[in-house]
Amino acid sequence: MSTSIKTVGVVGTGVIGASWTALFLAKGLNVIVSDPAPGAEEKLAAYLEKQWPVLKRIGLSSNASMSNYKFVSDIDSHLGSVDFVQENAPERVDFKRRLIANIDAKTRSDVIIASSSSGIPSSQFIDDCKQNPGRVLIGHPFNPPHLIPLVEIVPHPGTEDKYTKLATEFYASLGKHPVVLRQESPGFIANRLQAAIGNEAYSLVQRGIVSAKDLDTCVTSGLGLRWALTGPLMTNVLGGGGGAAGFKHLLEHLGPGVQAWTKDMNEHAFQWTPENIESLETSVGDWLKTTNVASVESERDDVIIDLMKLKVNAPDLV
C-alpha cells in the first residue's frame, strides 16, 4: 500500500463509486463518501453488505473493515483530510469542470484527483482549477472496480509525472492492473475496443443475422475465453504460429479477408436511431424473459474470482 495514502475521498456513489468504496475498504483504507442523490447512503450500505462476501473470497487486508467509511452530506469540509480523491460524477464536462475545480480548491495541493470518467479526457475539465491542475488525471476502472483489475490512468498534457507515478503505485497496491496511456484519447482504450465490438454486435443482432443469446455465446465460448488470457495481439501471434514471425504471418495471411469484412461492416454499421435501438432492445428482451440476471451476475463474479486466482500462477499472461 502506498503509505502516504490512508484516507480516500469518494465523490459519487453510483455503480462505479460504490464499487470503488468497497475496494478501498477491503484494502484497509478509510473512506469519506458523498453523494447528493436521494437514498444514496442507504443504497451504498446495502451494496457493501452484498459485496463484502465477494471481497472476502478475493482476500481482505488485515485491517479491512466495512465500518471504515463515513457518509457525509457535504464533502467540502472533509476534503482537507483526504489523501486521494476518486471522483465518480455524471459524464458531463460542465458538471465535472465545476466539481473538479471545487475539489482542487479544497484539497491539499499534493493530493491526486482521479476521475473515473469513462471517456472524457481530463484536459476538458481542468480549466477552472486554480491551485494545482497538474495533479488531476483519469483513473478509469472497468466495472465493477472491486472485481475487475484493469484501471486506465490517463494524464493530461499538464499532469506532472510524479502524480502519474504515485497513482500507478497506489492502484497497483490495491491489486489493480494499471495501464498508463501515453496521450489522451476520447474513450481511452478499453471502452474504444468495447465500442468497436459492441457496434458490430448491435448491427448483427438488429439485422436479424443472429440472436442476442447466440451473439453473446460467440464471445463467451470463443473470443472471450482466449482474450481473458491472451489479448488480441498475442492471440494473433499464437494464431500465426507463434514466435517472432507469428504476428506478421497472421496479418499477411488474413489481411485480404479482413479488409473485405471491414468494408461490409462499415457499410452495415449500426445506426443509433430510435427504431434500431428499439429493435435491438426487443431482441435482447426476448432473451431476458428466460434468464435470471441476478444469477448471471453472481455466477460471473464467482468465475472471475476463480480465473484471477489461476492467473496469479501464470506470470507470462498479462
**CA neighbor of 154 nearest in space, from 183, 118, 186:** 183
Q: How far is CA 290 from CA 72, 219, 293, 310, in A?
A: 41, 20, 9, 32
Dihedral sign computed on CA atoms, order 154, 157, 160, 161: positive
Beta strands in the chain (DSSP E): 7-11, 30-34, 69-71, 84-87, 112-115, 136-141, 150-155, 177-180
Task: State the CB neighbour count (10 A cutoff) for residue 158.
Answer: 14
In contact, 107 and 79? CB cutoff 8 Å: yes
List the strands of the sheet with 69-71, edge to edge: 69-71, 30-34, 7-11, 84-87, 112-115, 136-141, 150-155, 177-180
Examine the residue annotation and report whether 152 is marked as an active-site residue of this protein: yes
**Residue of 42, 87, 152, 281 marked active site:** 152
Task: Find the length of the chain.
Answer: 318
The DSSP bridge pattern shows strands 84-87 and 177-180 to be unpaired
Q: Which residues are catalytic?
A: 152
